[in-house]
Amino acid sequence: MLRVNTMNLGNVAVLCVQGRIVRGEMEVLRNAVLAQRRVSVLVLDLARVSMIDAGGLGLLLELRQHTESRGIEFSLKNVTKRVRQVLEITRLDTVFDISVGKDVPVAPLHQRARSLVETADCTYRIKGTNDRARN
């Protein structure tokens, strides 16, 4: 079951994603992103994502296109080892702005947004979970 918790930090939205981004479980993520209409930066924190399939990759591409067509900067943060491997194999790691830990890409995010994203910690933001995701 995919869960998404949104943290709005001014004009920056950090979506804490937990579970598997796979066919049949993606609507909650799509709806959470589409609901972000008044932000200029949207970051998906994938620290608790255990798996992604072709449908999930397609969704990430769709969401990236949707946000960028509206002038919203889109990036991925805390990508797990397994998800990173899938992105590398498909060469989508060259398409997405991906950061590790608190390192957010400097180019797409202005200084204020970057500092807000750095302070956002999704580790314990999803209800009903207390353990850290394993890479």
For 48-84, write each residue's pLDDT tens digit: 999 999 999 999 999 999 999 999 999 999 999 999 9
Supply φ then ψ for residue 16, to 5 degrees: -85, 115
118 by Cβ neighbours in 10 Å (0-12 / 13-18 / 19+) ranks as middle
What is the model's pLDDT at position 114? 54
Residues present in the chain in total: 135
pLDDT in single tens digits along all 135 residues of the chain: 999 999 998 899 999 999 999 999 999 999 999 999 899 999 999 999 999 999 999 999 999 999 999 999 999 999 999 999 999 999 999 999 998 654 444 444 555 555 555 555 675 444 444 333 333
Strand positions, DSSP E, the chain: 3-9, 12-21, 41-52, 73-77, 98-99
Predicted TM-score (pTM) of this structure? 0.78
Nearest CA to 52 out of 14, 12, 96 is that of: 96
- Distance, CA of 106 to CA of 109 (rounded, Å): 6
Two tokens at 46? 């994938």
Query: What pLDDT is stored for residue 110 in this prediction?
Result: 52
Domain 3-119, CATH:
3.30.750.24
